[in-house]
Amino acid sequence: MKDMGGGSSIQLIRLFGIRIGASYSWFFVLFLLIWLLSGYFTDVTGDSTQGFIYAVSAAVLFFVSLTMHELGHALVARREGISVVGIDLWFFGGVAKMSRDTNSPGEEFRVAAAGPAVTLVIVAICAAILAVLDSPSAAGQALTFSSDPGASAIEALVGYLGAVNAFLLVFNLIPAFPLDGGRLARSLVWKITGDRNKATRAAGYAGQGLAYLMIGLGLAMALFYEDAFGGLWLAVLGWFLATAARSAVVGTSFTEKIDGITVEDIMDREPVTIPADTPALRAQDEWFLRYRWGWFPVVDATGTFLGLLRAERVDGAIAAGQPMLSAGELLDEDAATWRVGASEPLEVLLGRPELRQLGALMAVDDEGRLRGVVTMQQVQRALTAVLPSRV
C-alpha cells in the first residue's frame, strides 16, 4: 500500500537508505499475533517453550515479508523519480510514504505492481521449500490452525508464512482503492480515459463498496456467528479502507481545482544565490550579514544548483580559522533533498515535507540549473487565490 505524507513512528532500521519505522499500534498487533500463534505452534511442537519461539519467529517473518512488499513499492518509486519519505508498519500492515503521486499510468502501474510482485516471490519460495520438504498440506493447515502430528515445526513455519502471504496477495489484488489492485485498476482506467482524476474516482468508489461490504460482513460475524474478535477486526479494517477511499475521491475535486498550476507559475524567478567559489568570509559579509537569512542556494558557473549554504556552516568555518573555505566546500550534504522540478505541478509541493521543514524548495530545470525558489508562503497564496475562484 502506498501513502502520501508523513507521520510519527519509531525507527526500527534503515534499508537501502529508506527509513523503516513502526507505529505504536504495530507493537500491539505484533504481541497479539505472537499470542495467537503460540497455541498453534505449541500443538505442532508439543512444547510450549518451542511453540513460543516459533510463534515469535513466524510473527517477525510475517512483518519482514510486509516490509519487503513495501520496499518493492518504494524502490520502484525511487527509480521513477519519486522520493520516499519512509516505510511505516502499523495496525493493518505497512505503508510506503512517498513525496508525490505518480505522473503517468505506466508509472502508477509499475509502482503499484512492485509490492505484489515481491509477495508473489515470497509465496513461490515458500511453496518451493514445502515441495522439497514434501509437505504441501502445511500451508492449508496453517490457514486453519490445524496441526498435523507428522509435520515438523519448520514445515509449519514455512506453511504459515506462505499461506498468510498468499492470502494477502489475493486480497491486496482486489481492484479497489487503496489496495494495490485498486491502484492497478486506476492505472488501466487512467490509460484508457487519459484522466487521472476520473480513474481515481472509479477506484475510490470501488474501494468504498468493498469497505462497506467488509464492515457489514464483520458486524454479521460478530452478531450472528459468535466471532466477535474476527468480526470487529474485519469491520475496523473496512472502516479504515472506507476512509482512505473516500479521501481519494474527495481529493480528486481538490486536484482538479489546482490542475495546470506548476511550480514555475508561483516561484520567485530571481533568487539570491551564492557562487560556489565564494570564500566563507565574503559569504558572511555580503550575504548572511546583509540579508539576515539562515541559508542561501549555491550554484556553479553554469547556474547548476549544488546545495544549500547555511549560516552555521559559514560561522563555524570562520571560527575555526578557515575563512577562505569556499561555499562549495561548506554545502548541505544532500542537494537533491531541496530540489523540485520547475515544471512539476503544484500538487507535488503539497506532498513534500522538505517544503515545510525548510520553508522553501529550489526549482530546477531538467539539467539541474536553478530557475527559482518557491516558498511555503507562495504556495499558500496560490491556493488562497485559486481555490475560491474555481469552486
> At which of 229, 254, 279 does a domain end?
254
The Cα 195–Cα 182 span in angstroms is: 16
Tally of CA atoms within 13 A in the half-sphere of 35 that contains its CB? 6
Which distant-in-sequence residues (6+ apart) come within 8 Å of 338 by Cβ? Answer: 297, 307, 308, 332, 354, 358, 361, 362
Maximum C-alpha span of the chain: 80
Better pLDDT: 124 or 389: 124
Whole-number Cα distances in Å, 12 to 19, 64, 100, 330, 353: 8, 12, 24, 31, 21
Query: What confidence tens digit (pLDDT) does each residue in 34-73 have?
Result: 998 998 889 888 889 999 999 999 999 999 999 999 999 9
Do 89 and 107 have their domain in common?
yes
- Is there a single domain that holds both residue 39 and residue 173? yes
Does one domain contain both 275 and 342? yes
Same domain, 276 and 335: yes
The C-alpha cell that represents 157 in the structure block:
513455519
Domain final position from 254, 284, 304: 254
Question: Model-level pTM?
Answer: 0.70
pLDDT, one tens digit per residue, over 306-333 is: 999 999 999 999 999 999 999 999 997 6
Residue 383's domain comprises 263-390
Neighbours of 57 (CB within 10 A): 18
Q: Which residue has the cell 499470542?
A: 35
> Vertex 140, ends 136 and 146: CA angle to 5°?
115
Handedness of CA 234, 237, 239, 244 (dihedral sign): negative
Q: State the alpha helices, DSSP H only, in 258-310.
A: 263-266, 280-283, 289-291
Number of domains, the chain: 2
Last residue in a domain, options 209, 233, 254: 254
- The answer to whether residues 140 and 178 belong to one domain is yes
Domain identity same for 70 and 165: yes
332 & 378 share domain: yes
Q: Tell me the CATH number at 381.
A: 3.10.580.10
